[in-house]
A and B are shown apart, each in its own frame.
Chain A
Amino acid sequence: MVLNRLHVLLVATGLPILTACAAPPAGPDAALPIAAVIVKPRAAAAADDVTRTAQDRLGRDAGVRYVRPLAGGAHMLYLMAPAKREQVPALIERLRASDAFQYVELDSMMKVQ
């Protein structure tokens, strides 16, 4: 059910659905992202290129799904299975180590104060 909702969302935004190509789904929750990350390429890049660069960096350890472009030339990506939530900090560090990205940040939550 959740998978269907997410699928509908991506179609509705008109963005390409770029699913992970590194590994098969690991279970019923495999369609859920384990993290939303914000990446800023050092040079303007298309969605496919951003996704491929991130996927190449993470190899088969995690799936990468493109979500949408962001203001200022950044992009949002989902990190997916087979990686687990506790691996997110390490995955982000691996992406940060790529020369292709100016920065990589977790899309965290903020609250009213």
Chain B
Amino acid sequence: MIGTRYFAAAAAAAAAAAACIASISIANTAPPLTQKQAWLRGLALPTAAAPAEQKISRLIVKFRDGTGGPAAGTLARAAQARKVGDAAGVGLDHVREMAAGASLLAMKAPLPLSEARAAAARLARDPSVEYAVPDVMMKRMAEPSDPQYLLWQWNLFAPATPYNGSKISSSAPKSATATGGANLPPAWDIVPSASSVVVAIIDTGIVNHPDLNGIQAPAPYFPGGRFLPGYDFISSDVGASDGLPINFVANDGNGRDPDPTDPGDWVTTAEEATYPISCDDGIAGPQDSSWHGTHMAGTLGAAVNNAAGIAGVAWNVKVLPLRALGKCGGALSDIAEAIQWAAGLPVPGLPLNPNPAQVISLSLGGGRCDAFMQSAVTAATNAGAVVVAATGNDGTIDQVIAPADCNGVIGVTAHTINGENSDFANIGAGSAISAPGGGSPTLLGAGGVTDDSNWTGYYLWSTLLFGSTDPNSANAQGQTGPGYGGFTGTSPATPQVAGVAALIKLLRPETEARPFIRPWLTMASSVRPHPTGGYCETQGQDCGSGLLDAGKALQAAVDRVPAVSVSTASRIVAPGAFVTFTGSVTAYPGRTAAGTWSASGGGTLSGTTGPSVILTAPATGFTTVTLTGTDSAGKLAFDAIKIRINTPPVLGPTPGRTATVGQTVSFTVTATDPDGDAV
């Protein structure tokens, strides 16, 4: 279990940098009141105040009766606006015609966003209205001021940000650049302040943490701020067929219940020896509690501008913590049912989820996608959820694990601070995108020399407890309570992608945008290319479309660019092979779009238009086939696949030999590779 090994490494590094870890502990700060303490003192419960709703003064409406614009006649359009507005109980004045046939209409009086959405929904029920949405104010938000964000969270930085363990330090040399950063600052600049999107984190559960729900650890978890109640999906009998005792995996004394508190998932040496099939991670010694779900939740949605800790990717969404992993892992059945419950679907014996998630983040996995998991994912995506999952930490090139390899899931591989694919990260079919996952510290500085003495650029930093076992325990350094720590893996990469998907959902909540969330996030024009000279760029493997770039993804959503996708059966082909590429271009509702194929790097295409083309591969090298979609509003997007032309090794001459029956004959065989590959 590589993830645990990397966490063990994180713990070792944390020990080596104990002073640094101690300096980020928030255990010495005055703890906020618990719910119980506040109630007993007659004070307001310590939940975050609901954010003030944005006031909306205009609606964007597309009428069905033509393309609008000047041809429709401004006076006629104004009369039509007044008519449908009156019918919907909202006074409307025509402001101007917009691209793609929409009209910008002003309301007589500004409404809070929720009421404006309701008014738009009433308008959309009119047969003459194709769609109606509030003209949301793109509120510019300052980059978070959280101290650990400014110091350590290279994974969120713009890619040109110098990084030496302290982005804001001016005295130390800055030999590293966070070229692998997910570029959140420009995305935060344009994302609305609404908190209407729910993201489910299906993991080991969650603990109280001042940077999450605003409540001091230890357990039990209490919903607060933007953190919702959640659920514990771990059945009592997980692992029974492997000999695990009842409630061993659950580790909280019972099966499914409404309490998603993470009681800890530590494994003793004796337990490893007793249950090797389920629990032996291949590393001698006990396994400390990971607080994995709490780390993922912080990466996704930690509070910002609270003068403490880190910044979450999507710090203005609601987080639904679901517990499906315990000691030694979790059952496929529990995880698959948690996915469905998260999406608002029925699960036998459980109440319906009152807060259905629009995004589901899965930093877990194992095996290959089977029918039950596929049916769960399909049901969730059909219900409108975006499902994001880690590709796994085995370092393989063709073994993306389930559920990342299921159809419809956005599989997330990982890269380091310099954008290179992390050595532990699985790649191959099912890798949709790469996000920061850490690793490779020797790449931080020239010649392997790093000015990052605490290895902060090696890890992704987020919320944790210090304890080694239960929430009240201490670690080997005597630290206890809430703090921060570093993980590497495709696990922490995953909630970053989920978070950006949630930001897109915030920006474009309308139903029409649903099929566009994934392409806006993952198509080639929405990501940054894999670094030149790196593994993914030179080896022709499928590492996903590129590096997560929140700024580009959100801009695609702002522009409502067409959704473009390209696929092909194989990425490594023989010289002269005929390679079929299939693609699609889908315009945003109200627009039209067309696609054009092109190839760079050699070879010839059978055409430039149509749903598929055939490339005649060149003799050697790489060829990139691109489909560019351009819509009627002048917005363009593209997707691309790079294939490698590879010639098999050539055997050297072997001289003829004469031998008698029964004689042993030895040959020396030589081979060379025309492409220069190792043989």
CB within 8 Å of B: which residues of A? 2, 5-6, 8-9, 13, 32-36, 38, 40, 67-72, 74, 76, 78-79, 85, 102-103, 105-113
Do A71 and B348 contact each other (CB < 8 Å), given the known contacts A109-B366, A113-B363?
yes
* B372 pairs with A113, CB closer than 8 A: no
Report the minimum CB–CB distance from A68 to chain B (whole Å): 7
Q: Write the nearest CB–CB distance from B182 to chain A, whole angstroms.
A: 18
Write the chain A residue with the least CB distance to B402. A110
Q: Residues of B with Cβ closer than 8 Å to A?
A: 1-4, 203-204, 235-243, 245-246, 255, 278, 290, 292, 325, 328-333, 335-337, 340-341, 345-349, 363-367, 370-372, 375-376, 379, 390, 392-393, 401-402, 489-491, 494
Known contacts A6-B240, A105-B370, A109-B239, then 9 further A-B pairs from the complex at CB < 8 Å, ordered by chain A residue: A5-B245, A9-B255, A85-B241, A108-B331, A109-B331, A110-B325, A111-B364, A112-B363, A113-B494
Q: Please, which residue of chain A has its CB at the minimum distance from the CB of B371?
A: A103
Decide yes or no: A112 and B4 within 8 Å by CB, A40-B375, A71-B347, A103-B372 being known contacts: yes
In the complex, residue of chain A having the shortest beta-carbon distance to the beta carbon of B424: A113
A105 and B372 contact, CB distance less than 8 A:
yes
A71 touches B366 (CB 8 A): no
Could you tell me the distance between the alpha carbons of A76 and B236 in the complex, rounded to whole angstroms? 14
Which A residues are in CB contact (< 8 Å) with B401? 113
Looking at B203, B204, B347, the one whose CB has the most chain A CB atoms below 10 A away is B347
For the complex formed, measure the closest distance between the CB of B8 and the CB atoms of chain A, giving whole angstroms. Answer: 13
**B393 engages A113 (CB within 8 Å):** yes
- Counted as pairs of residues, one from A and one from B, with CB atoms less than 8 Å apart, the total is 139
* Assembly CA distance A106 to B2 (angstroms): 23
Q: How far is the CB of B33 from chain A (nearest CB, A)?
A: 32
- Cβ-defined contact, A78 with B241, below 8 A: yes
Contact A67 B237 (CB under 8 A): yes
Considering only CB atoms, which chain B residue lies closest to A9 in the complex? B236
Instruction: Report the Cα distance A78→B235, complex, angstroms.
Output: 14
What's the least CB distance linking B346 to chain A, in Å?
7
Q: What residues on A are CB-neighbors of B1 within 8 Å?
A: 111-112
Q: B329 contacts which chain A residues (CB < 8 A)?
A: 109-112
Contacts of B328 in A (CB 8 A): 109
Complex CA distance for A15 and B237, rounded to whole angstroms: 14
The reply to whether A70 and B333 form a contact with Cβ atoms under 8 Å apart is yes
Contacts of A109 in B (CB 8 A): 238-239, 242, 278, 328-332, 366
**A9 CA to B248 CA in the complex, in Å?**
13
A113 touches B3 (CB 8 A): yes
Closest residue of A by beta carbon distance from B347: A71
A2 touches B245 (CB 8 A): yes
* Min distance, Cβ A18 to any Cβ of chain B, angstroms: 15
Contact of A112 with B240 at beta-carbon distance under 8 Å, contacts A36-B333, A71-B341, A107-B332 already known? no
Cα distance A94–B209 in the bound complex, in angstroms = 49
Interchain nearest-CB distance for B395 vs A (Å):
12
Task: Name the residue in B278, B331, B340 with the highest tally of chain A Cβ atoms < 10 Å from its Cβ.
Answer: B331
Q: Is the CB of A111 within 8 A of B365?
A: yes
Q: In the bound complex, do residue B241 and residue A34 qualify as a contact, i.e. CB atoms below 8 Å apart? A: yes
Inside 8 A of A110's CB, which chain B residues have their CB?
325, 329-332, 335, 364-367, 402
Residues of chain B contacted by A35 (CB below 8 angstroms) = 241
Residue in chain A with minimal CB distance to B491: A113
B332, A113: Cβ atoms under 8 Å?
no
Closest B residue by C-beta to A78: B241
Q: Is the CB of A108 within 8 A of B332?
A: yes
| In the bound complex, CA of A72 to CA of B379 (Å) | 8
B491–A71 CB distance below 8 A: no
Given known pairs A35-B241, A110-B366, the reply for A71 and B345 (CB within 8 Å) is yes
Contact of A111 with B325 in the complex, beta carbons under 8 Å: yes
- The answer to whether B335 and A113 have CB atoms under 8 Å apart is no
A73: min CB distance to chain B, Å? 9
The 7 A-B pairs with the shortest beta carbon distances in the complex, nearest first, are: A103-B371, A110-B366, A113-B390, A69-B348, A113-B491, A5-B246, A105-B370
Quote the shortest CB–CB distance from A48 to chain B (angstroms).
Answer: 16
Q: Which of A2, A78, A102 contacts B371 (CB 8 A)?
A: A102
Known contacts: A70-B348, A71-B345, A113-B490. The answer to whether A108 contacts B366 by CB under 8 A is: yes
List 27 contacting pairs A-B, 8 Å CB cutoff, sorted by A: A6-B237, A9-B236, A9-B237, A9-B246, A32-B241, A36-B240, A36-B331, A38-B332, A40-B372, A68-B348, A69-B348, A70-B347, A71-B341, A72-B372, A74-B375, A79-B241, A85-B241, A103-B371, A105-B371, A109-B238, A109-B329, A111-B4, A111-B329, A112-B290, A112-B325, A113-B2, A113-B401
Q: Hey, which chain A residues are within 8 Å of B349, CB to CB?
A: 13, 68-69
Shortest distance from the beta carbon of B254 to any chain A beta carbon, whole Å: 9
The interface residues of chain A lying within 8 Å CB-to-CB of B335 are 110
Q: Smallest CB-CB separation from B338: which chain A residue?
A: A71
B246 touches A111 (CB 8 A): no
A6 CA to B244 CA in the complex, in Å?
11
Which B residues are CB-close (under 8 A) to A68?
235, 348-349
